[in-house]
Structure 1
Amino acid sequence: MQAARFMVEGHSVGVDATFVQIGVIAAAYLVAVAATPIASWIVGQGRSAGRDEGLDGMRGAAAVAVVGCHLNQYMCAFLGYTNPFIGDHLGILAVQLFFALTGYLFTDRAIIGRIDPFAFYVNRMRRILPLYVFVVFTALAIALSYSWKTVAPLDHSLREALSVLAFGLWKPDELWFRGINMLSLVGIAWTLSYEWAFYMILIPALLLWRSGTLARVCMALVVLAFLFRDFYFNSEQVIWPFFLPGIVAAMLKHRRPWWLGGVCVALVLPSVLLIIWVPGFWTPVKLALATLVFFAVLFGRPRCLSWAPLQTLGMISYSIYLVQYLVLYPSVRLIYTSPALASVEARLGMGIVIALATIILSAITYRFVERPWLTGLRSTVAPVNSASVELPGIREEAL
C-alpha cells in the first residue's frame, strides 16, 4: 500500500517518514533520560545553589533536541527520506532558545550595579574555551587517524589546524584538515561566533543604554532598522535577532503583565507545531514563535522542566552540544563502511548507541574539562574604588 503523502515546505512527505522522525526524536529523549543516572554518577556533584530549574530544564531539553536533530538526519538519509523537517526545525528552535537564554541571562544581570569588564570577559573565556579547545584537539586527532596516509606539507597542515581552532570565533563556509571536512567534527560550534559577538557588544551597549532616554530611543530605532533591513533583504539566515527575545524578557522581568506567562504557556504547543510546519528557519515568523516558547519557559515556569533527568541534562548541556559530533561522525563512518552494520536493525541500534555515548561522554567532559574551570571564577562585581563600569553585576552561569 502506498503511503499517504502531504506537502511540507514545497516537498511531498510521506506519513511514514513523519512517524519515523517522531520515533527517532522520541528515542533520543528516552535514551538521554535513561542515561541520566550514569551521567549523575560520573558528574558526582549536585546542582549549584541558586540555579534556575526552569532554565536548566530548558537547556537539557534543547541540547537533546539538537542531538535528536542530527540523529534524525542520519536515519532519514539511510531510509531514503530527503526532508527531515521535524528534526531540523526542532534543532533550530533549540539553538534559538540558547541564543535567547544568553540574551536574557546577561542582560538581566546587567541592568543595575557595577561590573568589572575585565573579569566578565575572562570568566566568559574560562567558561567557553576549555571545552571548545578540548573538542577541537580531539577532532584534529580523529581527523589525523583517518588521514595518516595523506601526504601534506607540515606548514599547510598547521595552517589548517589553526583555522579549525579559530572556527569558534568565525564560521567559514568550508573547513578542511588533511582532506577531512572538519565541519563534520566541529561544525556544531558555529553558534559560538554569535555568542562572542553578543558578549563584545553587551557592555558598550549597556553603557550607552544608561546614558539617558534619548540614547535608549535611538538604540531601539537602530535595532529596529537593522531588523527590518536584514529580514527584508535576506529573509533567511538572519541569526542575530534571536538574542532579542532574551533581552526583551530581561527588561520585562519585573514589569510584565500578570497574564503573560499563562498566555504563552497556552500557546506553546501551537507555536511548536507551527515552527515545525511553517517554511524557513531564521525568519520573522520563527522569531515571533521562538519568543512565545521562550516566554512560556521563563514566565510560565512549567513544572515539567524541573524534572530531575532534565536538570542533569541541563547541567551537562554545553558538553552535550559540543561533543555530539565527536561521537556522530566516527559512528556514521563506521556504519557506512562496515557490512555488519548494513541492516536496518543494526543501524537503529547504532543510533541508540550514539545517543547513549553522547550523554556519557558529555558527563565525562563536564566532570574533567568543564567543571575544573568553573570553580574559583572571579566575581564580575567590582569594588567601589576600582575602575569599574556602572553596570549590574553579572553572575556566571552555564550556557
Structure 2
Amino acid sequence: MTRLVHEFERLGNGGVLRLQRRCRSDFDLPQFDTLCESPVSFPMRGRPLIARGGRPFLNWLRRSINDERQVFERRIELRPSGVPDASGRLRAGMVEQLTAQAQPRSRLHGIQAGRAIAALAVVITHAVGQVIIEPPVHAHFFARYGVTLFFVISGYIMVVSTGPAAFDPLRFVKNRVRRIVPLYWIAVFLMAALTLLIPSVFRKTAFDAAEVVKALFFIPSYAEDGSIRPFLKLGWTLNFEMFFYLCFACLFAFTDIMRAALLSALFLFLIALGSVFDFQSAPLAFYTRIDTLGFVAGVWLAVATRRLPPLHKGNLLAAGFASLVIVAAILAYYEPIRDNPWTQIWVIIACALQVAVLAGAPRLGWSTPRSLEVAGDASYSIYLFHMFGVGLGALIIAKILPGSVWIAILVAALLGAMSGLAVYALLEARMNRWIRRMTDAKRQPNTPIRPLSPNDGL
C-alpha cells in the first residue's frame, strides 16, 4: 500500500488529473475530485476513500497508476530531455508534459462533425437571405435545424464532460464563461464599431449603446421590429446557452439522471407558463419558448448513452434513416407548419437521432473527414463571424456578376465559412490557449510535490 501511495504521488498533476477523469466514468466517488486537487493529500484522505470504494476501487487505482507510469516512462526513453535530475526524480512539470504528449487526445470525432454541419447549415440560410431580399421560407429551415443541432450537442456534451456524479459548479461556470464570453464580446464590439463607422452597410442593425450592454450580458431584449433578439442578432442562441449552463450548474449536487429529470421539469414548466401567459417582458417571453427542449434532448441522450448498452450497428443506421425521413417531411410541408410547436419538437427529435448516430460513428466504422473536424473545431467562430464574409461575398458578386443568384449564394457561403475558419486559426484558438494557460496557472502552480516517506502509508 505504501508503494501505491508513492506511485500515485510520482504521477504529477497531468497523470492525476487523467485519473480523476477516468474515475468519474468508472466510479461514483466525487471525493476523488477533491483529493486530486492536491495529490499530496492522498495519504491523509486516501484511507476513507478506498474504504468507500472497496477492493474494486483499490484494484482499479493500482492498475490505473501503473498504466500512467508506463505511459510517461516510454516517453522518457524516447525523449532525451526527459531525464531525472540528480535526486532521481523528474523535473517539476516534466511528468505532466510527457504524459500529455503520450496520451492521445480524447475527442468525440462524430460530435465535431455535427458541430460543423450545424454551423454550415446556418451559413447557408444566411447566404440565401443576404442574396435574395425575400428568400423562400424553406431556406429558414436550415438555420433552424443548425441551431437545434447545436442545442442538442450542447446538452450532450455537458453531461459527458461533468460525469455521472456531482461536479464543481464554479469550475464548470468558469470553463463555460472563458469558452463563450471572450469571442462573443469581440464580435459584439466589432459590430458596434462597424455600425458607428459605416452604418449604411447594415440594413436592419443600428448602433444602440443600451442594446450593446444588454447583448454583452446575455439579457434578451426587443428589437425595433418587435422580435426578441440582441444587438448582435446571432447572439440569441447564446442567451439560451448561458441560461442552460446556469440551470445546469445549479444542479451540480445531483447525479446525471436526477439532473436530467430536474432540467426536464424546469424547462417544461417554463414552456407551460409561456403557453398560458402572454408575457410582455422580453426575458420571460424568451426563456419560456420551446427551443430549450433541444438541450433536454441532448442531456437525456448522454444519460442513456452512459447507462444503457450501446446501440447495435443496425439500430444506429435505422436512427439515422429515421432522422433523414423526418427532415425531408418537414422540408416538404414547411411553409404551413413553420410556426406549429410540434414542428420544433420533430426537429429536436431528428437532431437527437443524428447526434446519437454521430456519437456512435466509431461502431459503424465511419471515420470523420478531417475537413469536418476542422470545421467542427471552428464552428463557434464560423457561427459568430460568418455574416461578415457572407455580406462581403454577396457584395462582390453583385458588383461583378449582377443577377447571378446561385453563384452569389455559393460565394457568400464559402466566404462566410472561410471567415470563420480564419478567425478560429488567427484568434480563437490562440486566445483560448492563452486563457487556459493563465487561468490554469493560477489554479495549479507548477511546484514540486513533497516526497512521501514510508511513515505516510495508508
Give the match for residue 318 of structure 1: 380
* Deviation by residue 1:184-208 (Cα, 9 ceiling, x = unmatched): 982112100011001111122242x
- Counterpart selection for 1:105 from 130, 135, 157: 157
- Looking at structure 2, the residues matched to 66 and 238 of structure 1 have their Cα atoms a distance apart, in angstroms, of 19
Structure 1 residue 220: deviation in Å?
Answer: 5.4
Structure 1 or 2, whichever has the larger Rg, is 2
Give the match for residue 49 of structure 1: 105
Amino acid at match of 1:166: K
- Looking at structure 2, the residues matched to 56 and 367 of structure 1 have their Cα atoms a distance apart, in angstroms, of 16
Give the match for residue 219 of structure 2: 170
* Deviation by residue 1:298-341 (Cα, 9 ceiling, x = unmatched): 23556667011111111111111000222334665x479x7x45
Structure 1 residue 113: deviation in Å?
Answer: 4.8
Indicate the SS of the match to 1:254: helix
- Looking at structure 2, the residues matched to 250 and 228 of structure 1 have their Cα atoms a distance apart, in angstroms, of 25
Q: Does 1:244 align with 2:299?
A: no
- Looking at structure 1, the residues matched to 260 and 131 of structure 2 have their Cα atoms a distance apart, in angstroms, of 49
Indicate the SS of the match to 1:344: coil
TM-score if structure 2 supplies the norm length? 0.58
Checking the alignment, whether the CA contact within 8 Å between 2:381 and 2:420 is kept in structure 1 is yes
Percent of aligned pairs with the same residue?
21
The within-5 A match list for 1:193-212 is: 193-207=239-253, 209-210=254-255
Give the paired residue count: 310
- Looking at structure 2, the residues matched to 349 and 196 of structure 1 have their Cα atoms a distance apart, in angstroms, of 37
Give the match for residue 343 of structure 1: 402
- Looking at structure 1, the residues matched to 130 and 261 of structure 2 have their Cα atoms a distance apart, in angstroms, of 47
- Looking at structure 1, the residues matched to 181 and 194 of structure 2 have their Cα atoms a distance apart, in angstroms, of 20
- Looking at structure 1, the residues matched to 106 and 168 of structure 2 have their Cα atoms a distance apart, in angstroms, of 22
Cα distance change on mapping 1:237 and 1:330 into 2, 3 Å: farther
RMSD in angstroms over aligned alpha carbons? 3.8
Indicate the SS of the match to 2:351: helix
Give the match for residue 288 of structure 1: 349
Cα distance change on mapping 1:76 and 1:326 into 2, 3 Å: closer
Cα distance change on mapping 1:353 and 1:106 into 2, 3 Å: same
Cα distance change on mapping 1:344 and 1:100 into 2, 3 Å: same
Cα distance change on mapping 1:352 and 1:225 into 2, 3 Å: closer
Checking the alignment, whether the CA contact within 8 Å between 2:155 and 2:297 is kept in structure 1 is yes
Larger RCO, structure (CA 8 Å, separation 6 or more): 1
Give the match for residue 52 of structure 2: none
Give the match for residue 171 of structure 2: 119
Cα distance change on mapping 1:197 and 1:184 into 2, 3 Å: closer
TM-score if structure 1 supplies the norm length? 0.66
Cα distance change on mapping 1:369 and 1:84 into 2, 3 Å: same
- Looking at structure 2, the residues matched to 352 and 219 of structure 1 have their Cα atoms a distance apart, in angstroms, of 40
Give the match for residue 365 of structure 1: 423
Cα distance change on mapping 1:265 and 1:217 into 2, 3 Å: closer
- Looking at structure 2, the residues matched to 115 and 206 of structure 1 have their Cα atoms a distance apart, in angstroms, of 5
> Which ranges of structure 1 fall in alignment gaps of 5 or more residues?
1-47, 149-155, 384-399
Checking the alignment, whether the CA contact within 8 Å between 1:185 and 1:329 is kept in structure 2 is no
Indicate the SS of the match to 1:57: helix
Q: Does 1:298 align with 2:384?
A: no
* Deviation by residue 1:334-365 (Cα, 9 ceiling, x = unmatched): 479x7x457213x5444343223323322222
- Looking at structure 2, the residues matched to 304 and 52 of structure 1 have their Cα atoms a distance apart, in angstroms, of 12
